[in-house]
Amino acid sequence: MSQLTHINAAGEAHMVDVSAKAETLREARAEACVVMAPATLQMIIEGRHHKGDVFATARIAGIQAAKRTWELIPLCHPLMLSKVEVELTAEPEKNRVRIESVCRLTGKTGVEMEALTAASVAALTIYDMCKAVQKDMVIESVRLLQKSGGKSGDFQAVDND
């Protein structure tokens, strides 16, 4: 089993020193889903929400969140992201919106937390915009789907959908 990298020999949390690591291309893909009533989802799809375009707002929120992950997660490094993409898909057959984010850079540390933060904040934004209509929406399936690059190698999640 791998060691926890953010814990030093004394058991204290610390920021990992990445200065000696090589810069490599790194990419991560994450998802989150917001489950809601069919009527709420239909309102979003039809663009009838009084606050405006839910998908556009959530997409921008996710992109902004990825860029600011280091301010939210205490031991994350500030990163120069070269790509952040947030896709939102209405899935009426599952009464949900599925969010998928992709983050990429050439750097010394991975972008998994940035991808997860983008998907999570996009989901929270959907909840925030729609809570006046429905308070019992559920945010679920926040997870890393894929990562590539870096010393730890590649990862591909098992499809559980």
Q: Residue 87 annotated as binding?
A: no
Task: Write the class of the CATH domain 24-151.
Answer: alpha beta
Q: Residue 33 annotated as binding?
A: no
- Quick one: tokens of 8? 């030093």
Can you tell me the distance from the alpha carbon of 101 to that of 30, in angstroms, rounded to the nearest whole number?
5
What is the layout of strands, in order, in the sheet containing 138-148? 83-91, 96-107, 24-35, 138-148, 155-156
Can you tell me the distance from the alpha carbon of 144 to that of 115, in angstroms, rounded to the nearest whole number?
8
Residues identified as active-site: 128
Taking the domains of the chain in order of start, what are their residue ranges?
24-151
Per-residue pLDDT of the chain (161 residues; tens, 9 = 90+): 457 777 777 778 878 888 888 899 999 999 999 999 999 999 999 998 888 899 999 999 999 999 999 999 999 999 999 999 999 999 999 999 999 999 999 999 999 999 999 999 999 999 999 999 999 999 999 999 999 998 888 999 998 76
pTM of the model: 0.92
CA angle 80, 84, 88 (to 5 degrees): 160
Q: Residue 76 annotated as binding?
A: yes
